[in-house]
Amino acid sequence: MAWFICVIILLLCSKSEQCTTGNASKLIEHTAAHFFEKMQSGKMYFIYFGKQVNPTIGLFIEQLEKSADVLEDYGISVAKVNCTNEHIAKYCTGEKLMKKVYLFRGGNVLKSFDTDTVFDVNAIVAHVLFTVLFDEVRYVHTIAELQSVERAAKGKADIVLGHVQVLGLPEHRALMETAFVYGVKYQFVLTTGGPVLTNMGVDDISSLTAGLWFLHCKGASQSQHSDPCPHTALRRALTTLHIYTFLQLMEAPLVSEASVEPSEVNMVHSHLQVPLLFLFSQPHTVALDRVTAQTLAWRLRGQVGLVLIHRESPDVKIPLEYNAAYRLPGEGSEVKYLILNNLEEVIDLFRDESTPEEEEEDDDNWATLDVLDDEVAESVYRDRGQSLDMDAVTELTADTFHSTVAESDYTVVLFYVKWDAVSMAFMQSYIEVSESLEDADVSDVELAVLDCGEWTDVCSAQKIRSFPTVRLYRPQEPSQPYQGMLGTESVNRFIMLSRLVSPVLLSSPDEVTSFLEGDLYQRHAAIAPVTVLGLFSSTADAGVPVFKEAAKALRGETMVGLFADRQAEIWAVEYSVTLPAILVSRGPTGQTEAHSLNLCMPDQLVTHIQRALLDTFSIQPSIEKCGQRAGQQAASEKRMIAKKAATVINGGHSAHLMKVHMDQIQTLKTEIESLKAHQQKEKHYLRAEIRATADALVQSQLALMESRAVNDTVEEGEERDGVTIHARHTCELWNSTSDRQTQHTIPFKCLGSLRNVLVFERKAIFLCPFKMASN
Amino acid sequence: MDSPILLLLALLVALVQCFSDDYHSHNSTRHHDYCVLGAGPAGLQMGHFLSKSQRDYIILERNSGPGSFFNIYPRHRKLISINKIYTGRRNREFNLRHDWNSLLSDRPDLLLQRVSRELYPDADSFPRYLSMYVKELGLKVQYGVDIGKIRASESESPRGRGYILTDQRGLDYTCRVLLVSTGLWDPQKVQFEGSDLVEGYESIPVDPEEYKDQAVLILGKGNSAFETAQSILGRASRIHLYSPSPVRLAWQTHYVGDLRAVNNELLDTYQLKSLDGLVEGGLEDIAIIRNGEDEKKRSGRKKKCRSSGKEKRGKLFLTLSELLDSSDGKNSSKVTATNLPVYHNDNFSLRQPYDRVIRCLGFRFNFSIFDGSARPPSSEGARGRLPGVTAWYEGRGTPDLFVLGTAAHSRDYRSSAGGFVHGFRYTVRAVHRVLELRYHSNSWPSIKLSISQLQSWLLRRVNEASGPYQMFGVLGDIILLRGSHCEYLEEFPLQALPQFSSLSGHQLSKHGLLVLVLQYGLNRTDSLGPGRAESEWTRAWRSNFLHPVLYYYDKLPTERDMRHRPVGWPLPRPKAVHHMIEDFLTEWDGPISHSQPLRRFLEHCLHTDLRAFYAESCFRFSLTNRKPPLFCRQGYLRKHGVVRNRQLWQHAHEAGLMLGGQDSASPDTDPAFPDYLTQAGASVSSAINLDF
């Protein structure tokens, strides 16, 4: 026994490689004469003949050196012969790179290996030992082969069946090392998968990379020819230590009996770090208890040691209520007493003990599955205790829907289903809208909701295809869908804007001025910071009805004015456009842009105006390189660059623009950095610029995204729309999500965190040399 | 004062109808694109769809009113189809789940409840309802046309082969498409020695007094047998029910054609030892013989043995045909000691004689009116009583002839509701959709949905749809996946899935399809026992009660797949399957138990993140991902994002689900795999928020 342990310790040491570091390598370099002399000695040699060394061979020699120490323990010397100096016929071939290793015994080649097969220490040891033990370790593939081995072994020896999916891995080595030591005692059998495993009760063969079974054939009677030997599986990883422990356990008696206190029982199991299970027996039930213990022992074999303790002995002082106890391995671990009612409980006990991690993992899995991972659903779910104040809105039914819609000047209807989290999240904002409408003293708007889960007919008739849907109904008019953000402020703005007459008919130049930046503008500036004015030379212009139609469609989005008069020419000249045209006004402080109109269909005009409503930018030809403008750049110039990039991206999907894209993005990043540097001085002034820059960034991202998604034809169309409308939208997001008072600072903060997001992002697209910029 | 006017009006209507009928019969061709045979519920249902799509059709009815079957049957005049008026809901579609009698129409109030408020309505109310249905929808029904012969037209006209129907006056009707909704009229009979002594369900007296103190043997254990037994339970001395198979209880088998609890009082009296009973045995090898041969002899001793004579005379004995053969070839029908089983087996259950033997064995399809060229074969199941039809209810071997209604029950005999009004009203609709494509190139109606809406749409269907609910396992919704959107087709006959494209006119894309089916669990459990219901959503696949199941296929199952599907499954093994946990209230709207598992399943099939995000998260995703999640793309990036209000923000923040931020690692870059996102960035939003 001591010898075994010694070997094991040796093996362990050599494996951990700590013992070998510092020692000189045991790899011998042979000369030709030396080689022939050794060959005669009858010892085993593992020799590599080499000439040139390339990195692969270099690595191999390194591994060969390591294996020298290990193989020495098995009486195998490892050597190499340098064929450039020495020439040994047959082995030193003419090739430059030699990839063969030979195993010699007494001058004969046992086997040759390719260096690719014996690629590291584990592989070398495994393969060499496998060859050496060729006669002792049987290789089986089919069930019939295994059965014949079993038949031969019955009554004589136990069988150790090892399975490795691939030869040359650490598991294979561990198995071979064990076989080397125990080869005389047990019949070792190796398999690399296949039907044999199904015999061992493995369900999923492909998922099992390695395994070991102990087949109790020695005790099995020879007469029962066809019966397979009972087997026990090693339930741990295939390492030398585990196999050793396992084999020791297999040797230990199935059930031991004792007449002392459990704490005093001393068995091989405690050295092997295996828990012990004690069953307490009474004189009159001894026979039964033994059967129980046997059954249990078979079930727990290899995992737990079983001891039957005779209670009647005066040394045993166990409280009578307990019938079992167990002791976990480890110094001074306590004996735990239990009352067990059936076998399964006991088995579960140790199953839990032995695989606590797996169990937990499983539980975790289900537990996390029970948690909502959708932020909208979760926040709504967390709010389930709060009942919504549905009194604030009108709850429509199939009976009241049509009458309500017909009666009110404006009916805004939210179509929802209660199992849709987004609907329910938005419902809260929607109810807040009703409050703000009340505050604003708006009485001609009926704010209503309709549950499509109940009034399914109405929703089908209204062709509601998504939830939530918000529609504005005006009597005698087709309904208008609301397509803006699902938030209080946006809906509120939509409603307020929808109540305005559209287009506002202007009759004099004064009114036009007022509309663009004067009183008329100011009155609605809060809800319509950007207004659109259509200029026509006369009311008879064919475009006027089209424009009016478009203005109707744009209700709720912006304020649209119409000035159809000869005097419109003045503005046309001033903004150097030809009539008909539109003016997009951003108030007295902002710019007013002019666009000529190419009037065709109302929807095209709508799209045109929507595009014009976005922040527009001018073009500057040069593209700045990253870092050039560090720090000192004037804010106005940066603004131009940012805008330029955005325009380029905004305007097109053409291929060559995409190519220069990365440069632009980098430029933008630099600009943001330098803008940040200026922020203390020019905070207020820079607000708009930074916002624009960030918008441009988003735009770039989107465009880039699109350029990469060219193949994805399904999505393409959708994203295009996203690109064109996005810039305005981001600003709106910031506006709508922030407090009015702190609005000035928010873009900076956003930008700050934004940058961090980008920096921390592993696959960040906008990686830019920040350090250069901030220097 | 009203009634004369009404009468006048009715007369007028009748006159006009006569006139138009007259006009029709003078029309030399009498050709119609569609002939519907029989103005029962199925025929009228089809009539409605044909009239709605403005097709050239006629409904031919031999009797003078619609639904004449119900003027006679059920004999005891109580319908056992549920007419549940109060469901606590106002959703019309949902309420149809609990209305087994009404036909489908666009009129919200054209329901049986207008005629009857009873849960189990009187049988007369059903033809009344059907008349109302015909009248209000203006269906073209021609009464008094008794079609005696149907043959396929010989000439191969360019419009297809067509059918020629000949009525009792020898008039021919030519039809391009024949829709047979004649129902089941012929009583099912079994031939055995003495079967002429047996009375039929169709002709027995319904007055219980006629059965006073009589011993009655009823052949059959279906609803008609039990209905008969129940009506005479208080008068008859002894009622025995005899048939080959044991009684199947509808509430155990979930099949409404099995014995309904409404009719099962006899089970109670049987098991509570009150002289009634059920016996199993074959019908072919029995014989009924009457003790009447020695009547004269007995009458001579009338005074002496009055009681015994009264007992025995004219009584019917049940015996086995083999006993008759063995004793004496010629006098086999005589009652002799050796002819009776009791002679051989003294405790034979049915040894006592009966006053009446009644046959209640159901009905069969009338094949006789079909000429060989137009006759659909007998079905394989249902003891050959029904015509064999394809999965889209076209007669096998009889193209352009479709079977509707109860006669089409062979597809789902003993499994679903296709033989009953509440089931076939949906299959008729499905057939009509097939017709619309085949003859008018109108493909199956579909709804285009964006993928982000699919989940709530599925939940909507699951929570209200009546078609898949009634026709569980037979009709299912098909969702054709098309990348960022999908096509939603309702109530497609599942067995016809291999022929999907040719029947629906829709093509499958490489993204595959989902099928939404409602079905009972396959593990037969004790319907009332403990553990009958599963409540843990992680074990939804073990649900026993009716629950939604989603099947995902990447390509259409073939006919072979269909044939080799596992026993009891409505569909072959899919690529992925999702059971939604059965729900006691049949409301599948729980965020944790229903919505989220469904979402995860869809994510698995679609390989995409289907979660919803607030605008802030979408903003971050847009900046940090090549492709932000679908919800952001279809919402936020179209300026349609969801803005959180303060309270919800707080909740989402506490839940640690908001993303992005200063000092946390950002979530995994690929938004397609939400699992990683779950734990990531817990502390994130707080950092941002404080900054604000």
> What does the alpha-carbon distance between residue A149 and residue A151 come to, in Å, rounded to a whole number?
5
| pLDDT beyond 80 at A531 | yes
Partner residues linked to B199 by β-bridges = B358
Residue of B644, B646, B658, B683 to mutate when probing chain A, most A C-beta within 10 A: B644
> Averaging pLDDT over each range in A220-224, A763-767, B97-101, which range is the top one?
B97-101
> What does the alpha-carbon distance between residue A616 and residue B510 come to, in Å, rounded to a whole number?
41
- Taking CA atoms, what residue in B is nearest to A426? B642
Of A467, A485, A701, the CB nearest to B615: A485
| pLDDT beyond 90 at A241 | no
| pLDDT beyond 50 at A11 | no
Do B640 and A719 count as a contact with CB atoms less than 8 A apart? no
Q: Which residue has the higher pLDDT, B496 or B649?
A: B496
DSSP 8-state class, residue B269: H
| Cα B257 to the center of its chain, rounded Å | 10
Q: A356-360, A671-675, B259-263, B492-496: lowest mean pLDDT where? A: A356-360
Its sign, for the CA torsion B495, B497, B498, B499, is: positive
DSSP 8-state class, residue A643: H
- Please give the share of chain A, as a percent, with pLDDT higher than 90: 8
Q: Is A461 on the interface with B (CB under 8 A)?
A: no
Largest alpha-carbon pair distance within chain B?
117
Do B688 and A425 count as a contact with CB atoms less than 8 A apart? no
A592-596 and B31-37 as β-strands: parallel, antiparallel, unpaired?
A: unpaired
| pLDDT beyond 70 at A10 | no
A108-114 and A159-164 as β-strands: parallel, antiparallel, unpaired?
A: unpaired
> What does the alpha-carbon distance between residue A37 and residue A30 come to, in Å, rounded to a whole number?
10
CB distance A269 to A204 below 8 Å: no
HSE at residue A595, side-chain half, CA atoms within 13 A, is: 18
Do A419 and B633 count as a contact with CB atoms less than 8 A apart? no
Number of Cβ atoms within 10 Å of the Cβ of B577: 15
Query: Any idea which residue has 């020879």 for tokens?
Result: A222
Closest CA to B418 of B475, B483, B461, B344: B475
Segment B637-657 shows an average pLDDT of: 79
| Cα B462 to the center of its chain, rounded Å | 18
Residue A316 to residues A263, A264, A311, A561, B77, Cα–Cα distance (Å):
10, 10, 6, 103, 82
CB distance A313 to A260 below 8 Å: yes
Global confidence as pTM: 0.65
- CA A744 to chain B, closest CA, distance in angstroms equals 11
Do A379 and B687 count as a contact with CB atoms less than 8 A apart? no
- Look at residue A648 in the predicted model and tell me its pLDDT: 39
Cis peptide before A503 (omega within 30 of 0): yes
Q: Where are the alpha helices (DSSP H) in B295-401?
A: 295-300, 306-312, 321-327, 341-344
> What does the alpha-carbon distance between residue B281 and residue B245 come to, in Å, rounded to a whole number?
7
Q: Is A711 on the interface with B (CB under 8 A)?
A: no
- Look at residue A356 in the predicted model and tell me its pLDDT: 39
Distance between first and last Cα of chain A: 72
| pLDDT beyond 90 at B481 | yes
B600 contacts in chain A (CB < 8 Å): 369
pLDDT in tens, A723-758: 323 333 333 333 333 333 322 222 333 333 333 333
CB distance B632 to A714 below 8 Å: no
- Look at residue A700 in the predicted model and tell me its pLDDT: 53
- Look at residue A687 in the predicted model and tell me its pLDDT: 44
CB distance A47 to A81 below 8 Å: yes
Q: Which residue has the higher pLDDT, B406 or A389?
A: B406
What are A742's two structure tokens?
């702190």
pLDDT band at B73 (very low <50, low <70, confident <90, very high): very high
| pLDDT beyond 80 at A633 | no
Q: A142-146, A431-435, B304-308: lowest mean pLDDT where? A: B304-308
Q: A276-285, B208-217, B557-566, B666-675: lowest mean pLDDT where? A: B666-675
Average pLDDT, chain B: 85
Radius of gyration of chain B (CA): 31
Of A381, A422, A715, the CB nearest to B484: A715
> Residues of A numbered 718-747 whose beta carbons fall under 8 angstroms of chain B's beta carbons: which are they?
718-719, 721-722, 725-726, 729-730, 732-733, 736-739, 742, 746
Do A419 and B482 count as a contact with CB atoms less than 8 A apart? no
Q: A419-428, B11-20, B343-352: lowest mean pLDDT where? A: B11-20
| pLDDT beyond 80 at A503 | yes
Number of Cβ atoms within 10 Å of the Cβ of A388: 14
CB distance B34 to B55 below 8 Å: yes
Do A757 and B624 count as a contact with CB atoms less than 8 A apart? yes
Q: A470-484, B326-340, B481-495, B552-566: lowest mean pLDDT where? A: B326-340
DSSP 8-state class, residue B593: I
pLDDT band at B101 (very low <50, low <70, confident <90, very high): very high
Measured torsion, CA atoms of residues B130, B135, B136, B139, in degrees rounded to the nearest 10: 90
A362 contacts in chain B (CB < 8 Å): none
CB distance B565 to B571 below 8 Å: yes
Do A758 and B94 count as a contact with CB atoms less than 8 A apart? no
Closest CA to B85 of B67, B109, B104, B107: B109
- Look at residue A221 in the predicted model and tell me its pLDDT: 66
> What does the alpha-carbon distance between residue B518 and residue B505 come to, in Å, rounded to a whole number?
24
B611 contacts in chain A (CB < 8 Å): 373-377
Q: Which residue has the higher pLDDT, B213 or A229?
A: B213
Of B447, B463, B592, the CB nearest to A465: B447
Collapse the DSSP code of A301 into the 3-class scheme (helix H, G, I; strand E, B; otherwise coil) and give the result: coil
- Look at residue A24 in the predicted model and tell me its pLDDT: 54
Q: Which residue has the higher pLDDT, B177 or A324?
A: B177
Where is B634: in which H helix or E strand?
A: helix B630-634
> What does the alpha-carbon distance between residue B446 and residue B491 come to, in Å, rounded to a whole number?
11
pLDDT band at A411 (very low <50, low <70, confident <90, very high): very high
Segment B500-511 shows an average pLDDT of: 93
| pLDDT beyond 50 at B87 | yes
Q: Is A387 on the interface with B (CB under 8 A)?
A: no
Do A425 and B648 count as a contact with CB atoms less than 8 A apart? yes
Closest CA to A325 of A379, A279, A382, A392: A279
| pLDDT beyond 50 at A525 | yes
| pLDDT beyond 60 at A249 | yes
Strands, sheet with A324-327, edge to edge from the N-terminal-most edge strand: A255-258, A305-310, A276-281, A324-327, A335-338
- CA A715 to chain B, closest CA, distance in angstroms equals 7
Cis peptide before B4 (omega within 30 of 0): no
Number of Cβ atoms within 10 Å of the Cβ of B282: 12
- Look at residue A361 in the predicted model and tell me its pLDDT: 44
Do B611 and A366 count as a contact with CB atoms less than 8 A apart? no
Largest alpha-carbon pair distance within chain A?
123
- Look at residue A388 in the predicted model and tell me its pLDDT: 82
- Look at residue B247 in the predicted model and tell me its pLDDT: 93
pLDDT band at B532 (very low <50, low <70, confident <90, very high): confident
| pLDDT beyond 60 at B475 | yes
| pLDDT beyond 80 at B6 | no
pLDDT band at A389 (very low <50, low <70, confident <90, very high): confident
Closest CA to A444 of A491, A408, A406, A401: A408
Q: A327-336, B74-83, B303-312, B365-374: lowest mean pLDDT where? A: B303-312
- Exposure of A165 by Cβ count < 10 A (0-12 exposed, 13-18 middle, 19+ buried)? middle
| pLDDT beyond 80 at B465 | yes
> What does the alpha-carbon distance between residue B265 and residue B258 come to, in Å, rounded to a whole number?
15
Q: Which residue has the higher pLDDT, B471 or A717?
A: B471
pLDDT in tens, A692-708: 555 555 555 554 444 44
Measured torsion, CA atoms of residues B196, B198, B204, B205, in degrees rounded to the nearest 10: 100
Closest CA to B661 of A750, A694, A746, A675: A750
- Look at residue B232 in the predicted model and tell me its pLDDT: 94
> What does the alpha-carbon distance between residue A485 and residue B383 come to, in Å, rounded to a whole number?
62
- Look at residue A336 in the predicted model and tell me its pLDDT: 80
CB distance B137 to B110 below 8 Å: yes
pLDDT in tens, A330-351: 766 777 887 777 777 777 777 6
Do B90 and A383 count as a contact with CB atoms less than 8 A apart? no
Do A419 and B94 count as a contact with CB atoms less than 8 A apart? no
Segment B4-13 shows an average pLDDT of: 49
Closest CA to A754 of B37, B354, B623, B135: B623
- Exposure of B347 by Cβ count < 10 A (0-12 exposed, 13-18 middle, 19+ buried)? exposed
- Look at residue B377 in the predicted model and tell me its pLDDT: 92
| pLDDT beyond 50 at A455 | yes
| Predicted-complex ipTM score | 0.85
- Please give the share of chain A, as a percent, with pLDDT higher than 70: 72
Query: Any idea which residue has 């009891």 for tokens?
Result: B568
Residue B198 carries which side chain, given as an amino acid letter? V
- Taking CA atoms, what residue in B is nearest to A485? B640
- Taking CA atoms, what residue in B is nearest to A724? B638
> Averaging pLDDT over each range in A321-325, B332-336, B376-380, B645-649, which range is the top one?
B376-380
| pLDDT beyond 60 at A637 | no
Q: Is A767 on the interface with B (CB under 8 A)?
A: no
CB distance B334 to B293 below 8 Å: yes
Cis peptide before B74 (omega within 30 of 0): yes
Its sign, for the CA torsion A235, A240, A242, A245, is: positive
Residue A326 carries which side chain, given as an amino acid letter? Y
| pLDDT beyond 50 at A652 | no
Residue of A366, A370, A374 to mutate when probing chain B, most B C-beta within 10 A: A374
Segment A677-683 shows an average pLDDT of: 48
- Taking CA atoms, what residue in B is nearest to A423? B642
> What does the alpha-carbon distance between residue A728 and residue A359 come to, in Å, rounded to a whole number?
52
- Please give the share of chain B, as a percent, with pLDDT higher than 90: 63
